[in-house]
Structure 1
Amino acid sequence: MIKSYFLSSFRFLRKNKLFTGINVFGLAIGTLCCLYILCYVTGHLRYDRHHAEADGIYRVTTSIKLPSSSRDMATASPPIAAAMKQDFGEVKQYTRVIPTLGVNQHLLRYQGNTYYEPQALLTDSTFFDVFSYHFVYGNPKTVFKEPYTMVLRKDVAEKLFGDKDPVGQLVELDNAWEKRPLKVTGVFDESLGASHLEAGMFICINGYSEDIGNNKTWSGNNYTHTYVKLHPQANAAALERKLPAFLERHGGEEMKRGGVSKVLHLQPLTEIHTTAGLAADTGKPVSRTFLYILVLIAVLIQVIACINFMNLSTARAAKRAREVGVRKVIGAGKFSLIAQFLGESFLLSLISVLIAIPLLIALLPYLNQLTQASINIHFLHDYTVWIALAGIVLVTGLAAGSYPAFYLSAFQAVKVLKGNFSNHISAAGVRRSLVVFQFVVSIIMITGIIVIYSQLQYISSKDLGFNKSQQLLFRFPTNEAKDQSEAFAQAVRELPEVKAQSRMTAIPGQFEYNNWGVYLSGGDVAHSIHQLNITADEHFISTFGIKLLSGANFHPGDSGKALINATLARQLGLNIADAPGTRLFTSIGETLEIAGVIQDFNLQSLRENVKPFMLLYARNPQRTGTLMVNVHSTDYPRLLGKMEGLWQQHMKGYPFVYAFMDEQLQRLYQSEETLSRIINAFALIAIFISCLGLFGLAAFNAEQRAKEISIRKVMGASVSGIIQLLSKDFLKLVLASFCLAAPVAWWAMDRWLNQFAYRVDISWWMFATAGLLALIITLATVSLQAMKAAVNSPLKSLRSE
């Protein structure tokens, strides 16, 4: 019997090639998308799960409330970790990880080999007691037993040492902090799994930076990433409830004097990578909402493909009605028929998966470029992928085949054999509902494309309050490079393409840790206004084109002066015109004089409102480490060639590295750009699959109404009239879809835009454009079949009448 079912199913599928092709291709494309998104999402969810006792490791984060602002930080003050180990028996071990603040490039030298490594982290000697890494060379238990030691990532070690064992070798580390030899004690790779702690090298704090490791400040200096490993029986929630009293006991008086209120939290290690929004975070966290959106897109695409199967199967029920009737007459039961039709569905689903796998392998480079991921063919070695594939076959087969199976098996044998195979279930109504659902999803996705694109365009074109275009950025990573930099800067200044240039400690868009408080005479530290600040020379505002609202710019030789933005002036209660000359007192014990007030500009992402900001005068601009050059040129290759020649002349021994300011700022919105690319690609796929189903239904509709069309043509109907006749029902469904999709799309996009302090308004034209595109796509798809039916000769359909 099974053989009979298989043969009849195979014959039917082979005979109905269009039906089979649409279903198989649609399911294959849907499965491909579903599988890739599954690999992408699970890859992000697996971050840090490879560490031993990962479920018992937590990062200590800080919520800081100041008189003028508040923020949630991924960091904590330096002494918190050791104090928690001492006070709480639940803490088995702790470690701290400290970014090399303000240092973006580390020059490594070994026997004539030089290499720039941007990712370096300082760690306690207990780092590898908390975290698990696979060591190619060295012993993780002893690598940090001595001071002045470092552990290199495998690819970094290979650039310096080739394939030799580097353990015991001395590498000179040169950066803006210091220049000293460090002993290599280990080499690790990332074969165990990905971590949110992205680093080319880990450097032991012991000896290297005693001042950082021994800092005793509780109210500020929130620059350490603090991790605690708890004993297996410890309760993290109970421990977190003890932290307010712990913080008050150790730092209460100090925080009260500084006007700081802090709350500590325990963040599970396995959730760090999927928790975005914390200031001073390491790595590149992704939003869990973003991952949920991807999963929803994958499910919807697979559902759309299943809908095609259901619609085409029920639409072509007439082709199988007599088969069902005959089988029932000779004794086939309802459940055996259901099993047969579900079997066909599972067979098509299996074929689709077998087609999807090689397609996915072939498209991996494009998809990885789209998502900025690094998924490779090795994903097939993961048993969970095969479990997922089996689940896709079963779920897709059941979802796609259930309704057709129950629909076809419910036919009454006597009525079918008499030519009447109507069923109490309204198949046409179900088909219309499913088509509406498909286009609701498509219209929502098209609206998403339009809104996200509009927001990204708004971000890229918005006036940030300073000139971000044609700005070239140069960094001098070591003290020796800074010593040589003035000659390079002077030579660049003389180029005819250079309009202005400035030296500074940081650039807009870069996270800035300097955020101490300021207050006026008669105030106190507890009520000070915390602000972000950058140290720069007198050319900063002219290089960036920032408007001076009152007062005067810096002059060479100025000392103890500052320019403040309008937001800080307002929060201090100062009139912008009268602010120059006012004395400012700081929470770090210095006194400053306001030289002038500058216009507000967006120092950070447009997700946030303008913050209080202060520009400090650089007493020694040469030591700031960053040079910004404002140029006017249409021939950048020629200009950069000139600059490279000057660099090689004055900066010997240092690679020529530069960046464009606007590109640096655009990186702040990398997650939004990735989401935009993903939505664009998968929306097109969803629309394509929907059109496949629409094409099949239109072909079936034209076939069913062939005699009606022929009679209308004999009676004088025009081709355009017949196309209109066959298209209007589908266009009505798209209009209904638009009415349902518009409010859902508005709600979803409004929620997404709420993360931005500066955003576009959702306008009616966005929905109108999405609806119009859906109408055009539908009309183009249906018209192909309508045109074919309209131009056919009536004799073919009427000769048997």
Structure 2
Amino acid sequence: MNKKENTSVPGFPLKLLRWFCKPEYLPDIEGDLVQLYYRRAESVGRRRAHLLLIRDVLLLCRPGLVRSSDLFRRNKNITAMLTHNLTVSFRSFARHKTTFAINVIGLSSGLMCVLLIGLWVQHELAVDRFHEHDSRLYQVMNNLQFQNTLTLDITPVPLASALVAEFPEVERAVATNNFFSWETRDGILSAGDKSIQGTGWHAGPDFFKVFSFRLLQGDVNRVLTDKNSIVISEETARRLFPNSSDAIGKSVQWKHPLFEGTFLVSGVFENLPATSSAQFDFLLSMEVLLDNDRYAAKWTGDYAQTFVLLKEGADVNQFDAKLKGFLKSKDPGLDKFSLFSQRYSERYLHGNYVNGIPSGGRIDNVRLFSALALFILLIACVNFINLSTAEGSLRMKEIGVKKTMGASQWLMVHRFFVESLVMTLISAVVAVILVVLITPHLNDLVGRDLLSEIEPRHIVGLGGIVLLTAIIAGAYPATHLSRFKPVAVLKGKLAESRGQWTFRRSLVVFQFALVVVFLVAVQVIHQQIEFTQTKDLGYNRYNIISFPWKGKLYNMWNGLGEGKTNQEFESFMARIRDLPPVLHATNLSGNILDNIPGQSGITWSGQESERNYVFQSPVVGFDFIETLGIEMREGRTFAKERHDDYSKVILNESAVKLMGLRNPVGKTIDLNGGSEVVGVVRDFHYGSLHETVQPLIFRCDPNGRTVMVKIRPGQEQQAINELHKVYATFLPGYTFDATFMDDEYLALYAPETSMASLSKYLSMVAIIISCLGLFGLAAFAADRRMKEISIRKVFGSTPTDIVRVLSREFTVPVLVAIVLGLPISFYLAKEWLSGFAERIDLAWWHFALAAIVALVVSWLAVALKTIKAARVSVLRGLREE
């Protein structure tokens, strides 16, 4: 009973049922639905039970259960008026086929863009917001203070328990191992004769109380309390055990590069949703990490990510103020670290930081794409408004007669709103069909199946968008046309005012100003992407394959210092170097493109300032310089025959310049107790071009887990096949996850590449819709000026003269749009390029080409109709009324 009290039935579905259901059936049906909801909430969860309740209510909406409508029985005129307006609307569509086609194409294109982008945006906004305590769930972040503030998500393992013990605001806290501790979260899970590769996390006992990942089997209070237990996903259980529903208590072997063990399954959790940024196949106790790494329990370690669940009503600002210097109170050596909290569900969208403060991230793309979709829809609505008001004169007699017969202005507004709504509904159907056809081609671009994520609430959202579009598109035409005076209309004295003429051309200006902005954006984005792909980075990224070594390596915590390698790994590296397609092979820790560790506390002879600097400090193996083709300025590279280790370093030119070293080779810097500079490399642009080249110090250590192989040109596939065979020989059961370095480099610009593709498509849509609008206006203008055209031809005007006269009316608004659009596009392009340290220069032809294209396509759109009008015979034109 207590569970039912805590699981309240959603009100909206029941209100909907009470609204349409006949009173004699309502009590029994409602009672059955409520009982069914409670049973479902216990078995499948509240969220799914809520959706199933909505489905059941909608299925009950059928003739035998729906009550008769008193509204329509009391006022049959409403039904008659609605039927009449629908009939008149469809007749109008049939009479004006060109205008109807233009409006449907424009509105359906705009709605299609809104739906496609809307599906992507709703997924981005929903990430990590499914947790029951979302508003109180925070992640502890860590600011490292040096010459710049570096924001990290790594914290010491003991922090979680200390926060619960010492902070009254904290209800619960949990630590998980971070992505960088233990170098990998991947390993092999085995049960009987079945083995799979899985990704595992170490987590504290309150993990399932802090996060709302649902346990299908097991006790939430006990699943992670025993360090010999393991909690697996339902998919992992299905793959390991014949009967996945009976996995509790079964034995699982875990093989990891740093430890192996046998664990008993204590729980099975539901497969993680696509809207979860955290993805893992199983959980082990945090005690396992502490037992296998002697440094993990220290406050100076950075092995964990820490998440806290604050108590109801807790003041986050006060919590952050107390949290700021907490690490220093535990260890004075941590005085440069400053903690703060960030709401967990905001981390995904707000993942960029400036001086330790969240500043943008994925949310910037969400806002940008949403604005682009809205602008495209507005362009389509502008077409509808323009054509509807332009054709007002064709409807004047209809309006005059109806008003003379007693129709009020409200009824006329209703008439045109019905037409707008019907047009939008037809366009929405076409848009949905286009979305279904186009989405499979866009799934690769956005990295997910958009259609698979559609939920009932999206149908409601589509209805809201359709209604809003109908209001935006139909509001002005309805109010404008309904204000016509019947006397002036019937006498034929109603002429278009200068205000109406200016309004329509202002809409054309708005359309083509956006077209100009899109055209400039397409050029600038594509040129910058091409620049990033062709720029000389100072190393050769082509024909290089990288993959992780998932076997054992020697590490500091097992008592063997740097410079010593595992014999198995040495044999593996020797085997791949002997492969015919391989030119060079090396290894490193992390990734040279986006995961370079930093090193602080470095001093050198002649240092003029006591300021502490952070150097980029990749840890690389032998032959690294040769594999990437980095140019040596002085000295030599790391060599195995010279027994190079952590005591040897190589600087880049920026580091030499910062240190002010003359003849740096042979000098010693204070790094790890003293390191000799053996070489200097030319500055090369590691990472993306968003960042400038920073001072860099290469450290030598053959224990890097990322293997990089330089392949002979033209032998890439052969090399992959042979590397795969060698890998499988040394590491049976592990997947060979090889990627080309060039592909990894291009992935650094995935948001910009997506933006380039999106801007190209949206520009095409914007141009097509705008040109269709101009074509419709030109067609209407030509029809209205048919007599004028004929008279001009009688007095000797040529078809060319006629085309020039008719085109002039639309050329001026387009020129004004160009004048307004160019400075806007210049500002936006400059702002976007400012995010790149290395970028193209804006050239005059970027804007000149956009202006010329906008002008030419507008002329072509108008010419299609004006040329036809100029060729009409004089007699036919004079007969037109």
* Fold match by TM threshold 0.5: yes
What do residues 652-710 of structure 1 show as CA deviations (whole Å, max 9, x unaligned)? 55444421111112222222222222222223222222222122112212222223333
> How far has the Cα of 1:776 moved from its partner?
2.7
Is 1:757 aligned to 2:844, yes or no? no
Closer, same or farther: CA 137–688 of 1 in aligned 2, 3 Å: farther
Which residue, 521, 527, 530 being the options, matches 1:454? Answer: 527
How many angstroms apart in 2 are the aligned matches of 1:526 and 1:197? 41
Closer, same or farther: CA 529–681 of 1 in aligned 2, 3 Å: same
Which residue, 148, 167, 177 being the options, matches 1:98? Answer: 177
What's 1:442 paired with?
Answer: 515
Closer, same or farther: CA 97–672 of 1 in aligned 2, 3 Å: farther
Closer, same or farther: CA 254–484 of 1 in aligned 2, 3 Å: closer
- Tell me which amino acid in the other structure corresponds to 1:722: I
Which residue, 599, 616, 631 being the options, matches 2:699? Answer: 616
Residues 208 and 214, structure 2, Cα contact 8 Å, conserved in 1: no
> How far has the Cα of 1:163 moved from its partner?
5.8
Closer, same or farther: CA 429–660 of 1 in aligned 2, 3 Å: same
Any residues of structure 2 matched to 1:251-330 within 5 Å, and which? 251=331, 253-256=332-335, 261-277=336-352, 287-330=362-405
How many angstroms apart in 2 are the aligned matches of 1:213 and 1:331? 91
How many angstroms apart in 2 are the aligned matches of 1:703 and 1:400? 24
> How far has the Cα of 1:548 moved from its partner?
1.7
Is 1:197 aligned to 2:284, yes or no? no
- Tell me which amino acid in the other structure corresponds to 2:852: L
How many angstroms apart in 1 are the aligned matches of 2:173 and 2:507? 56
> How far has the Cα of 1:107 moved from its partner?
3.1
> How far has the Cα of 1:347 moved from its partner?
2.3
What's 2:651 paired with?
Answer: 564
How many angstroms apart in 2 are the aligned matches of 1:238 and 1:367? 45
How many angstroms apart in 1 are the aligned matches of 2:542 and 2:160? 43
Query: What's the secondary structure of 2:139's corresponding residue?
Result: strand
Closer, same or farther: CA 773–88 of 1 in aligned 2, 3 Å: same
Closer, same or farther: CA 187–777 of 1 in aligned 2, 3 Å: farther
Which residue, 653, 660, 665 being the options, matches 1:573? Answer: 660
What's 1:640 paired with?
Answer: 720
- Tell me which amino acid in the other structure corresponds to 2:477: P
Residues 325 and 337, structure 2, Cα contact 8 Å, conserved in 1: no
Any residues of structure 2 matched to 1:546-695 within 5 Å, and which? 546-555=630-639, 556=641, 557-559=643-645, 560-575=647-662, 578-586=663-671, 589-618=672-701, 621=702, 623-647=703-727, 652-695=732-775
Residues 582 and 719, structure 2, Cα contact 8 Å, conserved in 1: no
> How far has the Cα of 1:134 moved from its partner?
2.1
How many angstroms apart in 1 are the aligned matches of 2:484 and 2:501? 15
Residues 227 and 285, structure 2, Cα contact 8 Å, conserved in 1: yes
How many angstroms apart in 2 are the aligned matches of 1:511 and 1:467? 18
What's 2:190 paired with?
Answer: 109
- Tell me which amino acid in the other structure corresponds to 2:168: G
Residues 455 and 760, structure 1, Cα contact 8 Å, conserved in 2: yes
What's 1:7 paired with?
Answer: 87
Closer, same or farther: CA 721–650 of 1 in aligned 2, 3 Å: farther
How many angstroms apart in 2 are the aligned matches of 1:411 and 1:144? 75
Residues 197 and 734, structure 2, Cα contact 8 Å, conserved in 1: no
Is 1:466 aligned to 2:550, yes or no? no
What do residues 145-186 of structure 1 show as CA deviations (whole Å, max 9, x unaligned)? 111433333334434346624333333333332333343333
Is 1:729 aligned to 2:813, yes or no? no
- Tell me which amino acid in the other structure corresponds to 2:601: G
TM-score by length of 1: 0.90
> How far has the Cα of 1:267 moved from its partner?
0.5
Is 1:351 aligned to 2:426, yes or no? yes
What's 2:314 paired with?
Answer: 234
Which residue, 551, 555, 567 being the options, matches 1:478? Answer: 551
Closer, same or farther: CA 390–592 of 1 in aligned 2, 3 Å: same
> How far has the Cα of 1:335 moved from its partner?
2.4
> How far has the Cα of 1:637 moved from its partner?
2.9
Is 1:382 aligned to 2:456, yes or no? yes
What's 2:602 paired with?
Answer: 518
Size of the aligned set, in residue pairs, is 780
Is 1:74 aligned to 2:157, yes or no? no
> How far has the Cα of 1:639 moved from its partner?
4.0
Query: What's the secondary structure of 1:122's corresponding residue?
Result: strand
Which residue, 266, 275, 290 being the options, matches 1:185? Answer: 266
Out of 789-798 and 317-326, give the one that drifted further: 789-798
What's 1:369 paired with?
Answer: 444
How many angstroms apart in 2 are the aligned matches of 1:52 and 1:138? 19
How many angstroms apart in 2 are the aligned matches of 1:430 and 1:10? 27
Higher RCO, 1 vs 2 (CA within 8 Å, ≥6 residues apart): 1
What's 2:50 paired with?
Answer: none
Query: What's the secondary structure of 2:257's corresponding residue?
Result: coil
Residues 188 and 733, structure 2, Cα contact 8 Å, conserved in 1: no
Closer, same or farther: CA 300–87 of 1 in aligned 2, 3 Å: same
Out of 640-649 and 755-764, give the one that drifted further: 640-649
Residues 324 and 340, structure 2, Cα contact 8 Å, conserved in 1: no
- Tell me which amino acid in the other structure corresponds to 1:371: V
Closer, same or farther: CA 641–266 of 1 in aligned 2, 3 Å: closer
Query: What's the secondary structure of 1:479's corresponding residue?
Result: coil
How many angstroms apart in 2 are the aligned matches of 1:482 and 1:91? 44
> How far has the Cα of 1:527 moved from its partner?
4.6
How many angstroms apart in 1 are the aligned matches of 2:649 and 2:290? 30
> How far has the Cα of 1:243 moved from its partner?
2.4
Query: What's the secondary structure of 2:618's corresponding residue?
Result: strand
How many angstroms apart in 1 are the aligned matches of 2:475 and 2:242? 59
> How far has the Cα of 1:782 moved from its partner?
2.0
> How far has the Cα of 1:767 moved from its partner?
1.6
What's 2:491 paired with?
Answer: 418
TM-score by length of 2: 0.83
Aligned Cα root-mean-square deviation (Å): 2.9
Is 1:128 aligned to 2:208, yes or no? yes
> How far has the Cα of 1:740 moved from its partner?
0.8
> How far has the Cα of 1:615 moved from its partner?
1.6
Residues 508 and 602, structure 1, Cα contact 8 Å, conserved in 2: no
What do residues 265-316 of structure 1 show as CA deviations (whole Å, max 9, x unaligned)? 210122111112259x9xxx95212111121112112211111111000111
What's 2:118 paired with?
Answer: 38
What do residues 30-57 of structure 1 show as CA deviations (whole Å, max 9, x unaligned)? 2222233223212211222221211011
Closer, same or farther: CA 465–120 of 1 in aligned 2, 3 Å: farther
Residues 22 and 692, structure 1, Cα contact 8 Å, conserved in 2: yes
Is 1:394 aligned to 2:467, yes or no? yes
> How far has the Cα of 1:748 moved from its partner?
1.8
- Tell me which amino acid in the other structure corresponds to 1:420: K
Closer, same or farther: CA 456–210 of 1 in aligned 2, 3 Å: farther
How many angstroms apart in 1 are the aligned matches of 2:228 and 2:829? 52
Out of 490-499 and 535-544, give the one that drifted further: 490-499
> How far has the Cα of 1:456 moved from its partner?
1.3
How many angstroms apart in 2 are the aligned matches of 1:306 and 1:44? 27
What's 2:617 paired with?
Answer: 533
What's 2:162 paired with?
Answer: 83
Q: Give unmatched runs, 5+ long, in structure 2.
A: 1-76, 554-564
Q: Give unmatched runs, 5+ long, in structure 1.
A: none
